Structures are given as structure tokens and as C-alpha cells.
Structure 1
Amino acid sequence: MLPVDQYGKRRKFLLILGDGMADEPLRELGGLTPLEYAKTPNMDAIAREGRMGSLRTVPHGYEPGSDVANLSVIGYDPVNCYTGRGPLEAASMGVTLAPDDIAYRCNLVTIQDGIMEDFSAGHISSEEGRALFEALADALPEIDLYPGVSYRNLLIAHRSEGATTVPPHDIVGEDVASSLPKGPDAELLRRCMEVSREIFAGHPVNQKRLERGLRPATSIWPWSGGKTPSLLPFYMKFGLKGGIISAVDLLFGIARLAEMEVIRVPGATGFLDTDYEAKIRYALDALKSLDFVYVHVEAPDEAGHLGSIEEKVRAIERLDEVIGIALDEFDGTIALLPDHPTPIHLRTHTADPVPFAILGKGKDRTERYSEREAKKGSLGLMRGPDLLPLLFSRKTLEEDSDWLRF
């Protein structure tokens, strides 16, 4: 039965996710986390007028990637369906994989003297990346290359058995030698990386970037390969029509596989300069026809990978400003959370539980939105895939005690 209120009106749900927003206490911020330090009156209002808890979005034994974490938050248990990040991004691009194809996420990176200097090649533009990939495709006819958004691209290996790989954002500042691909596809992937180094070295795109004082894309870096997963359509799973707003292929891939609506927003860049307000405006408009909209904002995660406290605080505060629009104009249920922490001092993801808050499911004694305050929340510690069933439930505050804690 579809969720309705006491008057029989269909209920609406908005989930706002600040990617990598959670962090750890920082000496530079007087022992506060960026969430605690930032001015977040609207996030705090959700916590104060709603309920909080902590969410374990990454199952034990899994890499704390945005792919695993976002699948979990959207209600799909990675233990049962996760095959890799590559096939999710392939689905976003409309690329159909053969049964023996492996899709790898393929970054454009900057490696200098064997050190991973930048996992994003200075956040190279999509146009520059496309030009580099076109040149590389001619030299590597045995694979398929698909340019994506900025540094985020796709490599398809045919008649493939996969490889063990390392995300480039996990090894920034480290020697890459011990993190090169291993396993059945290793020889192929390493050869592709070597050819890319040769092709990119004298490419006009990199020459112009160097002239402008920008980091060049010195190589490709394939990682997180897998075959197409099978996801039960979102409508069949929850009885609701859902949509996703993002600027990264990963989230759109999940949307397509789950048969959710892909909502593209002009000005959404997947970086610090994204149009926060446009995302919220498009979400509110989409909720006129949809029951649930998932708004994904990448900026806090990018700031974490950059190791920039200032940019992370700014990204959190800019997100908070537009949450005020939702509080003013939306009368449904709102959920707020990150997918995983991206601690400034690590510059990569961790699997620690993240704080979540729900407005519209009763009220507890939490006062503001933060990692520490979430531990006091009445919703306790929950599994990621249990969040949406709780959000969509018509259970009362007292009845929610039946929900799983661990």
C-alpha cells in the first residue's frame, strides 16, 4: 500500500545527500569537525525538529566507495548486488555490456616521477578529456573507451575476467608502483596505461594546460571493474516513483538500473562550483510528479579529496543555504545525510557510520546536525539499506522501536 497521510493524500519524500560531508575533529578547527564548525542553521533545524541517528552505509569488508555507499542509501544492499563502479557508470552512459565484458571506471590522472600527484588531472574539463580519449582510442582498438564528465571516464575490456585495482584517490602523494592492476586483466590494463602515457605526453591538450600552469593528464587509471548488476526496479521495491539529481555518472547509472528518473540539472558540475540552488529547485519541481527525489551533491567530497578545510566548510555552508529553500517550500518528509566520511587529513573515504536526520518522523532531543550529535539520536545505529524503509514507513515514533539496530 502506498504511503499516505491521515487525509489520504500521497506523501512526498526528499533526500539530500552531501557526498563525503562527514569528517573527523580537526585541530585547525579547535577540535571540531567541518560540520560542527560550519554555520548550518537549516541543517540544525532538521535535526532539532526531527530525529537523528548514525548510518553504516558501507558493509564490513567492502571498500568505502561512493558506489557502495550510495547503493546502500538508496536501499540496495551491496552484499547482494554490488559488482563494481564501472558497470554503474556504463549504465549511465547507455553502454550495454556483453556477458563477458568488464567495465572499469577510468580516471585521467597526473603521475609525476612515479607519484600520484592528482587523481583528477587538475579537474580537467570534459572537452579536454574527450580529445585525449579520442587520440587514445585509435591506439587501443582492442578496448572501448567512453569519455564522461571531467576526469571520470569508462574503459570496457572484452572477453575479460577482471582485475584487482586501487582507486587513484586512495593513493594521492604515494608511489603508484605497488598499486598497479593485478590479476587476469592486469597485463591489458597496464599496457593501456603505458600507451596513454606515450599518447598524452605530446598531446596539444596537455601542452596548452602546461602553458596555463595547469596539471596535465599524464595517464589513464582504470579501477573498480565489474559486470552489470541486477537491481529490482525502485517502484517494485518501494511502491514509489523515484528520481535522482546528480552531476556524476555513478548516480545516474544506479538510477537507470533501478528504473528511477534521471533528472539532469543545468549548472550541476560535480565540483565546488556546482549550482546548489538549481538542484533544489529541480528537485521540488520533480516532486510534483514523483514521490521521492534523491539529491546528490558532490562538492564536500571533492573538498575532502583536495584536503581543503576552507573549501569543505564552504561547500557545507552553501548546501545549507539551499536546504532553507526546501524547508520553506516543501511540506513532505526530508532526510539529510552524507554517503560516507571523506576526512580532510586522509583525503579519501572511510567506512565510519555517518550522521543522518529525518524531518517528518517525530522529534527527539538532538539540537544540531553533526557527527557527535547523531550518536545521541533516538534512531540509533542503523544499516544503510534500512534507511528508506524507515523513511517511507507510516510507523509512529513509538512503533519505530521495532527497527533494526546494531
Structure 2
Amino acid sequence: MKYAVLIGDGMADYPIEKLGNKTILQAARTPAMDYIAAHGKTGLAKTIPDGFSPGSDIANMSILGYDPAVYYSGRAPLEAASMGVALAADDVAFRCNLITIEHGKIKDYSAGHISSDEAKILIETLDTELSTDDLSFYPGISYRHLIVARNNLGAETECTPPHDITGKKAEEYLPRGKDGDFFSGLIKASMVVLELHPVNLKRIEEGKNPANSIWAWGQGHAPKFTLFRELYGKTGAIISAVDLLKGIGVYAGMEVIEVPGATGYLDTNYEGKASAAIEILKTRDLVFVHVEAPDEAGHEGSIDKKLKAVEDFDSRIVAPILKHAEASDEPFTILILPDHPTPVSLKTHTRDPIPFAVYRTDRTDPDGTEAFDEESVKKGSLGLVKASDLMGMLVRDK
């Protein structure tokens, strides 16, 4: 048996008046996902356990079969693993967003989805100007970067994700609590360094949002994972443009596949991801394919972009992998789901249960679900499940 777990990050949504009170999944054209739902089994999954914030780190760990209550230590350490940044026992990794602040308010949590090349120059400048014996900056992808603080600096600081406070006054959400003043000062110091940087002056000239501040959040120490193959008896690989997901794969001992042109946005290399998934299944039992684009569109509050992202996910990821599975001599199990909702009306994540569908090519036992969306799956036979139980359900289903 081969397994394909296909994640459309943030696909789930609330009914939208402009779409006739349909959700994005109900309004989008998604024949491949609808086929999987209609020919398989469906239900709702709780990807965010009680007591945890509805982040992609928590949700995707759960889907991959790692209970956050056991394994979670913070978002940034997972990203550090993907970036090859080793953490000592008393190191604290922080996610470092490049953001746009305008008139004192957070205008854009991604600085206009700044390019990785531009961002690298800015992060290296910040490292030159602001790093100390206790703190360093590391460049990542687009707006997503890393700060590593030493000697447990910031381990207990209270931070807010910038995508949760778009349009809000930055001053009211600066880091607080123990070491909060230090990291608030670091953010303010970054503004001085970045304001007149040539990269930003050029972006302003081109009508783009400047990356005129950093934002630190999502910190934690290095976690300790049990290897995926030890937990589930399967070899696995992960495909994503996002360091967070790659880091989960690193700690899980899965092969992390780099796909050229994978951006984490609407212009990502969908075909490359689908082809890489099909290829790696020649030598691995399971592939976990993550697409960030629907989530980014949700954070932007764009109905049109989210519809496009969901339809692209269906036609350019799900459809070719489904076609390959149907034609294969070996049986396949395909699981499709978002990791959490990112409603366009809220522009942030919620903890609502998400729809999921499981289809096996060697078994015809549909449960009467007609389409893949938040409402249709409520009639599914799998009911409401804990997401961290999903992986065990997949690999142990005989």
C-alpha cells in the first residue's frame, strides 16, 4: 500500500455572502476532491487540541500523527531544523517575519511576499548591525526568517503572530513578559536599520510594501521526536515550500524533498510538487504534500485568490496524484484535508474542525458523501476524530 496525504493549508472557511452563503470549498470547482469524497469515506477532524493556539505547526504535527501535547515545543525550532540551524539545549529559536508597518499599524505580515533574494540581504544586514553574543539572525524563505537567542533568552516571552493583528497598532502587541522589553527593543531597532535600506527604497519606488520591521514570535527550544518509521512502520517523505513543514519532516526522520519553484504562494510550482510526490512513492511508503497558497489567500482576505488557490490545488496536485493512483498496480490510500480553517472574513486561523476524506483504490465502500466541503462531510461515516489519530487509522486500516 502507498499513501498520499494532501494538505491544502487553510482551505476550510465560513459561508461567504458574496458566494451565496457558500464556503470557498463549496463554491470552488474541485472535481478531484469531490471524487475522493464520493468514492471514499469522510468526516471531520479536530486538528487543534484544547489548550493550543490554531497554528499550522500544531495542526500539521497532528495530521502527521504527532500529538502536540507530547511533542510540541514551539514553531520556530521546527523551522530551524529545516534551515539546518542546530540548536543547543539553552538556545531559543524565534520566527522572524519581515513585515510592513505603516502609520504605526501592521499593514502587511509578509512585506508584500518579499522575494527570498531581497529578504536575504535585509536579514544579513540585521545580523551585521544587531547580532550579539546572545542573538543571531538567519535568512529563510520570502518573509519567514529566524532569530536564535542563547542562554534561554526569551523562552518565557509572550509574543503574538503578526498575521493575527494585521491592521492593529504594533505598539499594543509588542513582546511582553519576561525579556519582553529586550525583544520589543530589538523590533524597534530593526526599524531604524531597515527604513532607508536600499532594498526597501527600491521596493517603495516600485510600488511594493517595504520590509521596514521584523516581528519575533513562535519561539521554543529544540523538540524531541520519535521517528515516523518507528511510530507507524512506514517510510515517508514531505514536500512543502514552508520551513515549518520541512522542519517537522526533519525531526520525524522523513526525507524532505526540495522542489524548484516552490514558493509558498499562488505562484508555487504545483506540477513540480505533484511530480515529485509520484516519483518519491517509488521508494517510500508515504508522501505528505503541503500547499500553502490557500492559507496565504485567507490571510489576505481575498475571496478570488482563495478560490483560485483551492482550484489549483485540486487540478494541479490532487488530480494528477489521483490519476497516478488509479492507474497503479499497487493499491493507494489518499487522504485530503486542510490543516485548519483560515476564513477570509477573519484573515487568521480558527480552531474549527476541518473536513477530511480518505479514498482507497482497492476498496469501493463510499459512505454517501457527495462532495468535499465543510457541510457535506458531516454526513460521513468517520464522524469527528482527533487528527493525531488519523495517521494510525490510515496505516492500520486493513
Query: Normalising by the residue count of structure 2, what TM-score does the alignment of the two structures yield?
Result: 0.95
Q: Which moved more, 1:378-387 or 1:180-189?
A: 180-189
From 121, 132, 148, the equivalent of 2:140 is 148
Contact 2:98 2:212 in 1 (8 A): yes
Query: In the TM superposition, what is the alpha-carbon distance from 1:42 to its structure 2 partner?
Result: 0.8
From 66, 79, 90, the equivalent of 1:89 is 79
Query: In the TM superposition, what is the alpha-carbon distance from 1:214 to its structure 2 partner?
Result: 0.4
Secondary structure of the equivalent of 2:168?
coil
Matched, 1:65 2:60: no
Query: In the TM superposition, what is the alpha-carbon distance from 1:110 to its structure 2 partner?
Result: 0.5
What is the distance in 2 between the residues matched to 1:185 and 1:368?
Answer: 49
What is the distance in 1 between the residues matched to 2:269 and 2:387?
Answer: 27
Query: In the TM superposition, what is the alpha-carbon distance from 1:178 to its structure 2 partner?
Result: 2.1
How many residue pairs get matched? 385
State the AA in 2 paired with 1:337: L
Query: In the TM superposition, what is the alpha-carbon distance from 1:390 to its structure 2 partner?
Result: 0.7
Corresponding residue for 1:340? 340
Q: Which moved more, 1:170-179 or 1:200-209?
A: 170-179
What is the distance in 2 between the residues matched to 1:170 and 1:212?
Answer: 27
Corresponding residue for 1:6? none
What is the distance in 1 between the residues matched to 2:397 and 2:116?
Answer: 44
Which consecutive segments of 4 or more residues in structure 1 shift more than 3 A? none
Query: In the TM superposition, what is the alpha-carbon distance from 1:185 to its structure 2 partner?
Result: 2.4
Unaligned runs of 5+ in 2: 327-331
Contact 2:131 2:137 in 1 (8 A): no
Query: In the TM superposition, what is the alpha-carbon distance from 1:328 to its structure 2 partner?
Result: 1.4
Matched, 1:299 2:293: yes
Map 1:7-406 → 2, pairs under 5 A: 11-142=1-132, 143-159=135-151, 160-162=153-155, 163-322=157-316, 323-331=318-326, 332-360=332-360, 362-395=365-398
Corresponding residue for 2:329? none
What is the distance in 2 between the residues matched to 1:185 and 1:157?
Answer: 11
What is the distance in 1 between the residues matched to 2:75 and 2:396?
Answer: 30
Contact 2:93 2:220 in 1 (8 A): yes
State the AA in 1 paired with 2:356: F
What is the distance in 2 between the residues matched to 1:376 and 1:348?
Answer: 27
What is the distance in 2 between the residues matched to 1:101 and 1:227?
Answer: 6
Contact 1:100 1:161 in 2 (8 A): no
Query: In the TM superposition, what is the alpha-carbon distance from 1:141 to its structure 2 partner?
Result: 2.5
Query: In the TM superposition, what is the alpha-carbon distance from 1:161 to its structure 2 partner?
Result: 4.5
CA deviation vs aligned residue, 1:161-200 (integer Å, no higher than 9, x gap): 4211000000001112221101222122112111110000
State the AA in 2 paired with 1:168: P
What is the distance in 2 between the residues matched to 1:95 and 1:267?
Answer: 23
Unaligned runs of 5+ in 1: 1-10, 396-406
What is the distance in 1 between the residues matched to 2:69 and 2:312?
Answer: 34
State the AA in 1 paired with 2:392: P
Secondary structure of the equivalent of 1:289?
coil
Q: How many percent of aligned residue pairs carry the same amino acid? A: 50
State the AA in 2 paired with 1:333: T
Corresponding residue for 1:398? none
Contact 2:339 2:354 in 1 (8 A): yes
What is the distance in 2 between the residues matched to 1:133 and 1:59?
Answer: 34
What is the distance in 1 between the residues matched to 2:91 and 2:249?
Answer: 21
Contact 1:341 1:352 in 2 (8 A): yes
State the AA in 2 paired with 1:367: E
